[in-house]
Amino acid sequence: MLVFVLHIGGGVVGLVSGTVAAIAPKGGRLHRAAGNVFFVSMLTMAVFAAWLALVVPGQSSNFLGGVFTFYLVATAWATVRRRPGTSGGFEVAAILMPLGMVAALVLFIVQGAKAPPGGAPLGATYVVTFIALLAAGGDLNVILHRGIAGAPRLARHLWRMCVALTFATGSGFTNGLPRVFPGLMHVMPLLFLPMLAPLLLMTCWLIRVRFTGWIPNAA
């Protein structure tokens, strides 16, 4: 019960703090404070999601989801905590996670399975595989160039945090909420709509960062 409380509590706090951080002016005090809360709460949620996936039958797909979310949040936070134009052992170790995930998912796809283990939709497997490839490519770029700075550095932080928030939103509304209200259809299309909000925010911020040259002073 304690694990469930920590997992759900971390997810709820992560959704609220992540939304605040995504909306707040980048580099400001509110953004930083909300971002730190999001970082801690999401790591808590992801750790216990992975744990529950191991001990609860039929939830094996959530293990990869928990580990990947942990990776996205950790690398996004490390990107802005590290000085611009620098990298180290953390990035070298971090790239092993998306590479391992891509290998596992590609193997599953090549085998021609009709549905992933643990009940995850097959389409989600392709989407997550693509995101993991992008993440691994970004890590490789940081390693080869020994760090990044400016707009690419800020974009790396933004998209990883927003994708992690998207995962948390999807899990909360399409997996957690139907368990609280059993009358709702588990795959009710309306429950997928909240996932669009962090993706739209991510798109707006990335366009501003990558195509207008805008970088907050605190970054």
pLDDT digits (tens, 9 = 90+) for 159-191: 999 999 998 888 877 776 666 666 555 556 777
Of 5 and 213, the structure prediction assigns the larger pLDDT to: 5
% of the chain surpassing 70 pLDDT = 85
Q: Number of helices (H) and strands (E) in the chain: give both, helices first.
A: 9, 0
Domain-located, residue 203: yes
Is 77 among the domain residues? Answer: yes
Counting the structural domains of the chain, the total is 1
Is 200 contained in some domain?
yes
Q: What is the mean pLDDT of residues 134-156?
A: 93
Mean of pLDDT values over 96-105: 90
Whole-number pLDDT of residue 216:
72
Considering the entire predicted model, what is its pTM? 0.86
Q: Residue 128: inside a domain, yes or no?
A: no
Would the pLDDT of 109 be above 90? no
Residue 219 lies in a domain: no
Rounded to a whole number of angstroms, the CA Rg of the chain reads: 17
Query: In angstroms, rounded to a whole number, what is the distance separating the alpha carbons of residues 26 and 30?
Result: 9
Residue 111, pLDDT score: 67
DSSP symbols for 158-192: HHHHHHHHHHHHHHIIIIIHHHHSTTS-TT-GGGG
Return the pLDDT at 192: 76
pLDDT in the model for residue 140:
95
Count of C-beta atoms within a 10 Å radius of residue 133: 16
Average pLDDT of the residues in 68-95: 93
**111 belongs to a structural domain:** no
Please report whether residue 124 resides in a domain.
no
Q: Looking at the domain assignment, is residue 31 inside a domain?
A: yes
Quote the CA–CA distance of 219 and 205 in Å, as a whole number: 14
Domain that holds residue 46: 2-82+144-212
Burial profile 81-99: b = 16 or more Cβ within 10 angstroms, e = fewer: ebeeeebeeebeebbebbb
The whole-angstrom separation of Cα 156 and Cα 20 is 19
- Cβ neighbours of residue 156 under 8 Å, at least 6 residues apart? 75, 76, 79, 138, 142, 148
Q: So what's the pLDDT on residue 160?
A: 95
Residue 98: band (very low, low, confident or very high) from pLDDT cuts 50, 70, 90? very high
| pLDDT at residue 187, rounded to an integer | 58
Compute the average pLDDT of residues 138-163. 93
